[in-house]
């Protein structure tokens, strides 16, 4: 009887402890005080055929901040390039009617970001906010009648690379004017930097000026912008909810798993290298992918303990959704370790065009929005398919 009571008591304590883990943070990077780990030359890295252990050296949640910082350093150094931190006084912000304007000044050069906030017709300020990377690809019905503001992050204000139309090359983007030493960066580090500056602006002005609740900010996007949303959410802990819709290779899909499939998928050898460091392909192409000291499940895990939802569409083979499922099943172990597995889910469902979320997936997405942007008591523990 005593053993049963003790077991029940320990389970109760664990549940309470998990519930007390933060859903979001007030800092962009809580691990910023940690030094980067020693980073080996690519040829000196060991061959690791299995997905690396995201929880290496983690015994409890107190260790996660350090481990998360290690993962972030690896991704920046070998994959996308450095996301530079800004110093106090380098960011200024103002509201021009409903448009947020953020000026970032580095070494006398200024980059300006503008984004209009669309406020809901229900509820009262401060409102939760969903930011769409490039555009808000989720159906408007998911936000209609809910007290959630929306905003588009115009990433071309930072790095205007696009797969179609004219664009600048490395070294010529607005970001590069501020950080010429980082001209070799991939777009995803620069785009993640830009979204963080918008959040800086919201934070500086406060809810009285912006009408935005800083503790309930989400980010979402689809396809290349689904990758963007994932990098933005992973690298800024002020984002409470990240929804990556059909992100494809280089997003949530594990590079190793995509290399091993016989299908025509976006893998490390076959992706757009405007998005990544060109050295990533040079050093980790082909069998060398097994020397990559991280994989994309660890990018997903960087969102923990915050909320993450991955959405797939297997009708489009290129998206590598089988690899994304492998990655998701590995990443969720981090949330499970801390007893908060209901904060991470995935839904892979076909029968619809690319970036056109079918109504059959609406309830799962709605549940994550309601729970993590509106704080409603909703069950998200079974969004795994």
Residue 102: beta bridge partners? 93, 113
Q: 177 near 79, Cβ under 8 Å?
A: no
Q: Are strands 109-118 and 99-106 parallel, antiparallel or unpaired?
A: antiparallel
Neighbours of 82 (CB within 10 A): 18
Catalytic residue from among 115, 134, 223, 258: 223
Residue 106: beta bridge partners? 109
Question: Could you confirm whether 354 is annotated as catalytic?
Answer: yes
Residue 114: beta bridge partners? 101
Question: Could you confirm whether 223 is annotated as catalytic?
Answer: yes
| Integer CA distances (angstroms), 329 to 92, 193, 298, 334, 369, in order | 41, 28, 11, 10, 21
The string of DSSP letters for 77-139 reads IIII---PPPPTTSEEEEEETTEEEEEEEETTEEEEEEEEEE--SSS-SSEEEEEEESS--S-
**Rounded (5°) CA angle 206-30-114:** 40
Query: Known catalytic residues?
Result: 223, 354
């Amino acid at each position: 009887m005593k053993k049963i009571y003790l077991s029940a008591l320990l389970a109760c304590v664990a549940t309470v402890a998990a519930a007390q883990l933060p859903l979001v943070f007030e800092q962009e990077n809580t691990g910023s005080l940690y030094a980067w780990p020693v980073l080996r030359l690519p040829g000196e890295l060991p061959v690791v055929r299995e997905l690396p252990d995201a929880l290496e050296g983690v015994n409890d949640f107190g260790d996660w901040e350090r481990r998360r910082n290690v993962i972030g350093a690896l991704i920046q150094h070998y994959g996308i390039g450095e996301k530079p931190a800004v110093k106090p006084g380098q960011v200024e912000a103002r509201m021009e009617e409903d448009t947020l304007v953020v000026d970032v000044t580095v070494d006398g050069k200024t980059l300006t970001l503008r984004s209009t906030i669309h406020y809901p017709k229900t509820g009262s300020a401060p409102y939760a906010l969903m930011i769409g990377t490039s555009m808000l690809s989720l159906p408007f019905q998911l936000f209609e009648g809910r007290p959630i503001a929306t905003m588009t992050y115009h990433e071309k204000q930072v790095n205007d690379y696009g797969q179609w139309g004219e664009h600048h090359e490395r070294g010529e983007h607005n970001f590069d004017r501020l950080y010429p030493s980082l001209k070799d960066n991939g777009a995803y580090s620069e785009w993640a930097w830009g979204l963080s500056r918008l959040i800086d602006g919201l934070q500086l002005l406060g809810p009285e000026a912006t009408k935005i609740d800083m503790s309930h900010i989400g980010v979402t996007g689809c396809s290349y912008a689904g990758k963007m949303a994932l990098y933005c959410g992973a690298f800024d802990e002020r984002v409470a909810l990240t929804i990556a819709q059909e992100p494809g290779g280089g997003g949530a899909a594990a590079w190793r798993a995509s290399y091993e499939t016989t299908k025509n998928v976006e893998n490390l050898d076959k992706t757009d290298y405007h998005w990544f460091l060109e050295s990533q392909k040079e050093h980790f192409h082909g069998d060398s992918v097994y020397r990559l000291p991280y994989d994309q499940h660890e990018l997903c895990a960087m969102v923990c303990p915050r909320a993450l939802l991955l959405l797939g569409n297997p009708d489009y083979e290129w998206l590598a959704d089988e690899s994304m499922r492998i990655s998701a099943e590995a990443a969720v172990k981090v949330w499970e370790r801390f007893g908060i597995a209901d904060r991470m889910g995935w839904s892979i469902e076909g029968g619809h065009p690319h970036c056109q979320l079918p109504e059959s997936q609406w309830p799962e997405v709605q549940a994550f929005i309601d729970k993590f942007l509106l704080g409603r008591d909703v069950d998200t523990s079974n969004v795994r398919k």
